[in-house]
Amino acid sequence: MYGLLVPYDKYKKWETDMHKNFPVGIYGDIFCFFESRERKYMMVGKKIKTASNDNPILVPELTETEENEIKYSILNKFGFEGDYHYYFVIN
């Protein structure tokens, strides 16, 4: 996935400001989930490709336009900005 880690205090502030729980799972075209059991960070981004035991794990390369679309979507939905990275996510 391509996205960013949102610290606990930032997503809790979003919950307070919006008067609702931060979404976990799919939120439109964005995927949100806790990066650990400690819930110190919420990972927010877009799933890019799914791998299985039948195919190797390859790091997809997004175009600058695709990266900017993801950044804009997260900024528009949640108001979050930061350092974006590629992450391997295991469900």
Encode pLDDT of 58-79 as tens digits: 777 899 999 999 999 999 999 9
Report the predicted TM-score, pTM, of the whole model to 2 decimal places. Answer: 0.82
Please work out, in degrees rounded to the nearest 5, the angle formed at the alpha carbon of residue 80 by the alpha carbons of 77 and 83: 135
State residue 39's pLDDT score.
77
Distance CA 84, CA 86 (A): 7
21-58 pLDDT, tens per residue? 888 888 888 999 887 777 788 999 998 876 666 666 67
Distance CA 54, CA 26 (A): 25
Place of tokens 């390859």: 58
Amino acid at 56: P
Residue 29 pLDDT: 87
Per-residue pLDDT at 82 exceeds 70: yes
